[in-house]
Amino acid sequence: MERAVPHAVPLGQMEVFQTLQRLHMTIFSQSVSPCGKFLAAGNNYGQIAVFSLSAALSSEAKEESKKPVVTFQAHDGPVYSMVSTDRHLLSAGDGEVKAWLWAEILKKGCKELWRRQPPYRTSLEVPEINALLLVPKENSLILAGGDCQLHAMDLETGAFTRALRGHTDYIHCLALRERSPEVLSGGEDGAVRLWDLRTAKEVQTIEVYKHEECSRPHNGRWIGCLATDSDWMVCGGGPALTLWHLRSSTPTTIFPMRAPQKHVTFYQDLVLTAAGNSCRVDVFTNLGYRAFSLSF
């Protein structure tokens, strides 16, 4: 559904309103459904749109196939992050995370299942939640953002079990080392921090901007994206996008990309989607060719 517009507004003004809304739209987050057939995208207006990837990728796809199958108002402010479990879509905005049943969303019954707010230091504090990360072995969810902490939540009980403190500015991104119970976090302070979930302690810190080969002072020190694959990590933002060997804390490859990065992943043979400052999600079926765009 589009944002509510009073019935008294003439049709022409409504169309202008919707056009301006799309013009100023930013897509902050995406998540693929458990079945792999649908893509959810969250924008700066608090809306989540769900697209049928299977229909859009079909050889018989039409322009209508690239429109949302359902759009709903999820948050009052921007939808900064989303992840999917086997059954749920989890979305985060200003100060809270919400859960939605994928089965109900696809039936266009978009009813909030639950919401949780981390234990912030004051009741007046409503920091944005920039990143969500599932830890399947623990059945837990890690949240991080504007309060400079990582909060761990038990998905079965909904209780917040611990907070990880070490960052001195807000956190942009999270990544999981799947072979060990460790989480990496990157933030505005320019550090990538490695946390042991068993002890809830920081075990390694890499201050990327202090390495001359990575540093780009004109872009700042912030870390906007990171991903990990066992002993390797790739991260970028203000500093150059760089591949690191984690055990030795050594940068091994500097990628020649001028613009700061906000999303990165270790890529296999998958459909890649990219979104940002527009109402569109670009879909790539290979890294050199944009197949088509989905649109709110």
pLDDT attached to residue 287? 60
pLDDT category of residue 229 using cuts at 50, 70 and 90:
confident
Q: Does a structural domain hold residue 245? A: no
Over residues 243-252, the mean pLDDT reads 94
Domain extent, residue 77, equals 25-61+68-117
Contact 171, 163 (CB under 8 A): no
Q: Does a structural domain hold residue 111? A: yes
Contact 264, 223 (CB under 8 A): no
Q: Does a structural domain hold residue 201? A: no
Select the more confidently predicted residue: 222 or 19.
Answer: 222
In percent, the amount of the chain with pLDDT more than 70 equals 90
Q: Would you say residue 5 has pLDDT above 60? A: no
User: What is the torsion angle, in degrees rounded to the nearest 10, for the CA atoms of residue 261, residue 263, residue 268 and residue 269?
Assistant: -100
Q: Which residue has the tokens 């409504």?
A: 14
pLDDT category of residue 1 using cuts at 50, 70 and 90:
very low
pLDDT attached to residue 251? 95
Where residue 101 sits, what CATH number does that domain have? 2.110.10.10
Q: Does a structural domain hold residue 257? A: no
Q: Does a structural domain hold residue 291? A: no
Q: Would you say residue 239 has pLDDT above 60? A: yes
Select the more confidently predicted residue: 185 or 292.
Answer: 185
pLDDT attached to residue 6? 45
| Average pLDDT value for the chain | 88
Q: Does a structural domain hold residue 251? A: no
Q: Would you say residue 174 has pLDDT above 70? A: yes
pLDDT category of residue 117 using cuts at 50, 70 and 90:
very high
Q: Does a structural domain hold residue 86? A: yes
Contact 187, 223 (CB under 8 A): yes
pLDDT attached to residue 84? 96
pLDDT attached to residue 292? 83
pLDDT attached to residue 277? 66
Each residue's pLDDT tens digit, 25-73: 888 999 999 999 999 999 999 999 999 999 998 889 898 999 999 999 9
Quote the CA–CA distance of 108 and 248 in Å, as a whole number: 50
DSSP assignments along 65-81, one per residue: GGS-SEEEE--SS---E
pLDDT attached to residue 291? 80
Q: How many domains does the chain have?
A: 1
pLDDT attached to residue 275? 59
Q: Does a structural domain hold residue 77? A: yes
pLDDT attached to residue 143? 97
Lowest mean pLDDT among 75-84, 157-166, 179-188, 259-268: 259-268
Contact 274, 22 (CB under 8 A): no
pLDDT attached to residue 279? 82
Q: Would you say residue 261 has pLDDT above 60? A: yes
Lowest mean pLDDT among 103-107, 164-168, 230-234: 230-234
Lowest mean pLDDT among 138-152, 178-192, 248-262, 281-295: 281-295
Minimal CA–CA distance to 70: which of 32, 105, 99, 26? 105
pLDDT attached to residue 71? 95
